[in-house]
A and B are shown apart, each in its own frame.
Chain A
Amino acid sequence: MTQRPLPESLTIQTSAVRARRRHDIGHAMVLLLPLFAFLIVFTYLPAAVSLVLGFYHYHLLGVNTTFGGLGDFKEALTYAVFWQALRNTLVFALYMIPATLVGAVAIAVLISEKSRYYALLRTFVLLPYITPVIATSIGWLWMFNPQYGILNAMLHWLHLPQSQWLLSPQLAMPSIALYTLWHGLGFDVVIVLSALSNMPHHVMEAAAMDGATAWTRFRRITLPLLSPTLFFLAIITTIGTLQAFSQIFALTGTQAVAGGPENSTLTLILLIYQTAFDYFHFSYAAAMALILVMIILGLTVIQTWFSKRWVFYQ
């Protein structure tokens, strides 16, 4: 007898819970709707479109969207400028990744000390990171000026041969890498600094007591402990480098056409931009973008695979 009301109250409870659950899921959907509205229209949908756009002949104003198959991909892969742009893109990444890793670690170790003096220097290093690229390119354009620029003046004071910088097909890309390092290295330095501040101090002190030199401590303790951070920075730098657009546009755009001289700074993203928005070959550009995405994916996979050999997780 006493057990009789129990199931009843249980069912009441579960239906109440169920009602609240249904109520809750309704709430959740309403709260999630705004975010997903934006993500669907401007990320999921375009991501899906990007997968197929390269296979169609699409015209902004025309109605006759026709299936083009692999035509645009074939055309891209047989286009000499595409290969040149691909090579430039990889060369740029090849400059940027080691320079970023070495530069970030060296500068972070140099300015990691806790004092007002070093805090001020950290401010200086991070400052360029928040500046607008186009606006700060102007000062650099002037520094790179072969006739009146400060960089050639420095070479002159050091009795070294002067250079054409952005006007030289050999040095234009390294010059852009120099600007990119100036602008972005502060970000990497801050990441390394925060990793350094999480280092186990007792290990360092124990090693120092045992007579390990500063270099040995750095080589045997700091560097292995930093390796996950460095791996993260390598991935981020690769992605950032392959997306680099504004600084190339600004620093080479004052010449005949951005990407010069002699296409030496024409990267894939710049070529995609020109193909789509200067010449309005949308599907052709979309095909090239898809190839670029594949390359990024491939590089990330290779780096991840390679990282197993040198990244040390605690």
Chain B
Amino acid sequence: MTKRVRGGGPNRSHRAYRTIMRGFRGVVALAVGLSFLFPLYIAGVTSVDTPADVFVFPPHLVPDFDFQPYTAMWHMAPWLMYFGNTAFITATTIAIALATSVLAAYALTFIEFKGRSALFMLVLFVLMVPAEALLIPNYVILHQMNLLNTRWAQILPYGGSVFGVFLLRQFFLSLPTSYWDAARIDGASHLRFLWSVALPLAKPVLFTIGLYIGIGSWNSFQWPLIVTVSHQVQPIEVAVQRLMSAHSVDWRRLSAAGIMATLPLVVIFLFVQGAIVRGLSRGEGLHE
């Protein structure tokens, strides 16, 4: 009773309850967060195990830091070549897709002409076409173009990005029209305005689009698997898969290859996480 008068009792226990709940939430959240890291950790531990620690039950969870699997794995395949292929395919896809998106989005925003909205609808129509419907016809088309089993076969089908056109158009629409009027009065052409005014302002959007196209291209597996046979033109994901399906491959080396292929993306992710999150919240649903 007296406690209540002093105002401590129920309030204090309520505060204690809230503190406990906060702590509890923090612990549960930590467990959830770590469970997403755990599979990567397991692969990491396996990749630096000593041979004696691989086939044990229960599995041991403390790394041995034996880097022999990495050197052994490195000599099993021309990894630099595969990395080079992946990097070339990714960079070229980003460059082409950004260029086509910028030009088209500009025309669809700043130039008035008959049928503009119809053309934009035609671009958006691409989103309605399911990817699985394109798998076989695109293979046939690349066969007719004599491009099967090349790096270009992994680049050209991704040369037009609806996601890119859409986001850039959204951005261009948000620019004040007075910019364009002022440039026009100064006698600037469309290309001049695009290059000197619109593009520099669009840098963050270009970065987001490039990032998404890049991650998709770097991680692509199904299409390279279908359109390539020669190791010389294959990306790293296909090479890793071949190592997996080769029987009798040492688990430590396999894990080392997996970590090696994952690491570049993790490093990039840590730098650009903010842009990824912003892009996801901005362009909901368009990148799939």
Grouping DSSP codes into helix (H, G, I), strand (E, B) and loop, the B interface class, with mixed when no group exceeds half, is helix
Whether A35 and B123, one on each chain, are in contact in the complex, defined by CB atoms closer than 8 angstroms, is yes
B: interface residue count bin: 35 or more
Question: What A residues does B261 contact at CB under 8 A?
Answer: 132, 134-135
Which single member of B104, B255, B284 contacts A31 (CB below 8 Å)? B104
- Whether a CB of chain B sits under 8 angstroms from the CB of A272 is yes
Whether B114 pairs with A142 at a CB distance below 8 angstroms is: no
Interface segment among A76-84, A93-101, A204-212, A235-243: the answer is A235-243
B255 touches A42 (CB 8 A): no
Which A residue sits closest to B255, measured CB to CB?
A138
The answer to whether B135 touches A289, judged by C-beta atoms less than 8 angstroms apart, is yes
- Mark each residue of chain A from 91 to 121: 1 if its CB lies under 8 Å from any CB of chain B, else 0: 0000000000000000100110000011011
Among the stretches B5-13, B62-70, B125-133, B170-178, the one at the interface with A is: B125-133
Query: Is B16 among interface residues, defined by CB-CB distance under 8 A?
Result: no
Q: Which of A31, A118, A149 contacts B111 (CB 8 A)?
A: A31
Residues of A within 8 A of B34 (CB): 124
Name the B residues within 8 Å of A19 (CB-CB): none
Of B39, B132, B259, B276, the residue contacting A140 (CB under 8 A) is B39
CA distance A150 to B114 in the complex (A): 63
Tell whether A131 pairs with B265 under 8 Å between CB atoms, given A49-B140, A149-B59, A191-B284.
Answer: yes
- Tell me, yes or no, whether B233 is within 8 Å of chain A by CB: no
Q: Does A187 contact B (CB under 8 A)?
A: yes
Q: Is the CB of B285 within 8 A of A42?
A: no
Number of cross-chain contacts by CB at 8 Å: 283
Q: Which of A35, A110, A135, A186 contacts B104 (CB 8 A)?
A: A35
A127 and B255 within 8 A (CB): no
Interface residues in A27-79 (C-beta closer than 8 Å to B): 27-28, 31-32, 34-36, 38-39, 41-43, 45-47, 49-50, 53, 58, 60
Stretch at the interface among A216-224, A244-252, A303-311: A244-252
* B140 and A121 within 8 A (CB): no
Residues of A near any B CB (own CB < 8 A): 21, 24-25, 27-28, 31-32, 34-36, 38-39, 41-43, 45-47, 49-50, 53, 58, 60, 107, 110-111, 117-118, 120-128, 130-143, 147-150, 152-153, 156-157, 182, 186-187, 190-191, 193-194, 232, 235-236, 239-240, 242-243, 245-246, 249-250, 253-254, 269, 272-273, 276-277, 282, 285-286, 289-290, 292-293, 296
Residues of chain B whose beta carbon lies under 8 Å from any beta carbon of chain A:
25-26, 28-30, 32-34, 36-37, 39-40, 42-43, 46, 54-59, 61, 96, 99-101, 103-104, 106-108, 111-114, 116, 119, 123, 126, 129-141, 143, 156-157, 159-160, 165, 190, 215, 218-219, 221-222, 225-226, 236-238, 240-241, 244-245, 247, 251, 254-255, 257-262, 265-266, 268-270, 273, 276-277, 280-281, 284-285, 288
